[in-house]
Amino acid sequence: MLNLAVCVSGGGTNLQAIIDGIESGAITNARIKAVISNNPGAYALERAKKHGIASVCISPKQFGSREEFNQALLEKLDSCQVDLVVLAGFLVVLPETLIQKYQNRVINIHPSLIPSFCGTGYYGLKVHEGALKRGVKVTGATVHFVDEGTDTGPIILQQPVMVEQEDTPELLQRRVMEQAEWKILPKAIDLIANGKVRVEDGKVLIQE
């Protein structure tokens, strides 16, 4: 059984998709050991409570230094014996020590087809604003392993989504969530939990 920690900062619709996936049996061999938010007001924390999942707020603001925050985050993951850390809209840069210790055990959902519209500054609505400004016709979402860079780790799954002429960033964001994020994030977790994902030469190979 794969122990998950889901890290969130906001609404938690991707967290909800994971919870639903586990409850419906679409994700097997995995359970959520902890939901971690850096934001005490995140609705994601309510979602966890409603489903009886342990949740905690760990924010850099609660600590005197970044090192202390990093330590607290690492201690939480270690104490829950976490096998896979899922970044589901987590707006905090992870410390290198954590990424190294949890190499190929941290995944992230990003709302574009990486390597487009990713990297520093591209998060949430900004991604969709960028895509619309450039006039792309196809966008989508990506699940990838997290390495020391920003959105540079091995890509696990991608799902394309068509851009409509009338789209606003908000409309596009919603469609990308519905048609891509809420599908490929649970799918990636299920594949990992069932031993079907391996990384070779910096690339992900999936056993279907």
The minimum distance between CB 22 and ligand GAR, in angstroms, equals 16
The minimum distance between CB 182 and ligand GAR, in angstroms, equals 9
Tell me if 123 contacts ligand GAR by CB under 6 A.
Answer: yes
* Binding flags for ligand GAR, 13-52, as an x/- string (CB under 6 A): xx-----------------------------x--------
Closest CA to 189 of 103, 86, 101, 88: 86
Tell me if 130 contacts ligand GAR by CB under 6 A.
Answer: no
Supply φ then ψ for residue 22, to 5 degrees: -70, -45
Closest CA to 10 of 75, 52, 72, 57: 57
Residue with tokens 């809420």, as numbered in its chain: 182
Tell me if 111 contacts ligand GAR by CB under 6 A.
Answer: yes
Tell me, yes or no, if 51 is annotated catalytic.
no
Bridge-based pairing of strands 30-37 and 106-110 is unpaired
Name which of 115 and 195 has its Cβ closer to ligand GAR. Answer: 115
Q: State the sign of the Cα–Cα–Cα–Cα dihedral 53, 59, 64, 70.
A: positive
Structure tokens at 74: 């690492």
The C-alpha atoms of residue 38 and residue 91 are separated, in whole angstroms, by: 8
Tell me if 89 contacts ligand GAR by CB under 6 A.
Answer: yes
Tell me if 140 contacts ligand GAR by CB under 6 A.
Answer: no
Q: Where do contacts with ligand GAR occur on this chain (CB under 6 A)?
A: 8, 10-14, 44, 88-89, 109-111, 123-124, 127, 177, 181
